[in-house]
Amino acid sequence: MTILFERPYLTVAYDEELNCIQQNWKGFAKSHDFREGILKSVEFLEEKQADKILSNTKEFSVVKKEDTDWVAKEITPILVEKGMRKMAFIVPSNVFTQVSVNNFKDEANKIVSICYFDDVQKAKDWMAGK
């Protein structure tokens, strides 16, 4: 795994074995920081020609509905156009953050295969087709 981008609220890495961009979100990110992390993920997906994103939101705080709508409606189609086939989320135990993730799912699940997991290894197995 190669770290590509690091901030207090987010680490973005590339998993060569899975050809996957992995986001590890932590704590809270302001709207512009959240969007910066998403745009960096788009950039790295294209640069590495990855076809999957694993977003670990287990330790992440609430995201504004406007931001999840932006990702679902504007960014996800770009990711699909750039080759993303699968997206996995590691769901948080925080019910409020789950609402943010579910809001994204309702919109984005229309154009890409999205699954939710409570464990990173289960998500990786799904991505690998196991």
- Quick one: pLDDT at residue 73? 87
Give domain limits for the chain.
2-127
**pLDDT range class, residue 100, cuts 50, 70, 90:** low
- pLDDT, tens digit, for every residue of 34-82? 999 999 999 999 999 999 999 999 988 878 889 988 998 899 999 999 9
Q: Whose CA is closest to 2, among 50, 62, 67?
A: 50
* Superfamily designation of domain 2-127: STAS domain (3.30.750.24)
Q: Whose CA is closest to 101, among 53, 64, 46, 49?
A: 64
Contact status, residue 22 vs residue 37, Cβ threshold 8 Å:
no
Rounded to an integer, the average pLDDT of 23-44 is 96
